Amino acid sequence: MSAPLELPTLVSRAFDVSRRAGYASFCRNETGRLLATLAATRTGTLAEFGTGCGVGTAWLRSGVPEGARILSAELEPSLAEAAAEIFTGDPQVEVVAADWSTLRDKGPFSLLFLDAKEPKSAGADMIVDLVEPGGIVVLDDFTPCASWPPIFEGRVDVLREEWLTDERFTSVEVMVAADAAVLIAVKR
């Protein structure tokens, strides 16, 4: 059995903030490593809707190249404040205590990580104009599914099906762990 991969310092700090805040819902390491990898390919402005305590933001920041910028919106002010402290003095990251929709006029984004329930469940129609051509949308917290149409809890997973068949995107489901998958959609 191999030792776990070491976490970037910023990600460790974000986990510490999450623990102190009693916040247990955060980006998994497997998803985070994927986010960092995707962020490394991006320029311009990246965004995250649903900051929580900043774990996903820290993963994005650990991969993003110099010159790119990350905007992250968190509806809960206390969580946004805790996350913002992680990035104090970092000109490439801005965390705002606001609804995700307040960032609409800040796009289009080169990468958009949807970690907030409302925009994620609203589907591609609400998101398509927020992403630049060639931009990447990442949706996490899916249970892997090998069937078609995709099934979750005995029903067709309409959201997953919509993203995987929307002709405005080229999309794929990627299993990041035995019990976790993400959808990656690239705007055509």
Instruction: Flag whether 3 is in a domain.
Output: no
pLDDT tier, 187 (very low <50, low <70, confident <90, very high otherwise): very high
Which own/partner pairs from 161-168 qualify as long-range (CB within 8 Å, at least 24 positions apart)?
162/123, 162/124, 163/123, 163/124, 163/137, 163/139, 166/124, 166/128, 168/124, 168/128
Note the pTM of the prediction, 2 decimals. Answer: 0.92
Residue 61 lies in a domain: yes
Q: Give the residue numbers spanning the domain of 133.
A: 9-187
1 within domain boundaries: no
Please report the pLDDT score of residue 11 as a whole number: 94
The pLDDT value recorded for residue 116 is 65
The domain that holds 76 is classified in CATH as 3.40.50.150
Residue 62 in any domain: the answer is yes
- Let me know if residue 119 belongs to a domain: yes
Q: How many domains does the chain have?
A: 1
Residue 138 lies in a domain: yes
Alpha-carbon torsion 71, 169, 181, 34, what sign? negative
